[in-house]
Amino acid sequence: MQSDTLTTNTPAGQLWTGRIMSGLVVAFLIFDGGIKLAPLGIVTETMQQLGYSGSPELARGLGVMTLVIALLYALPRTSVLGAILLTGLLGGAMATHLRVGSPVFSHLFFGLYLGLLAWGGLYLRDPRLRRLIPFRLGA
pLDDT on residue 139: 57
**pTM (two decimals):** 0.86
pLDDT on residue 114: 97
pLDDT on residue 54: 65
pLDDT on residue 8: 56
pLDDT digit of tens for each residue in the chain (139 aa)? 455 445 457 899 999 999 999 999 999 999 999 999 987 888 888 888 888 886 788 889 999 999 999 999 999 999 999 999 999 999 999 999 898 888 899 888 999 999 999 999 999 999 999 999 988 877 5
DSSP string, 23-89: HHHHHHHHHHHHHHHS--HHHHHHHHHTTS---HHHHHHHHHHHHHHHHHHHSGGGHHHHHHHHHHH
Interior angle at CA 66, CA 19 and CA 112, nearest 5: 65
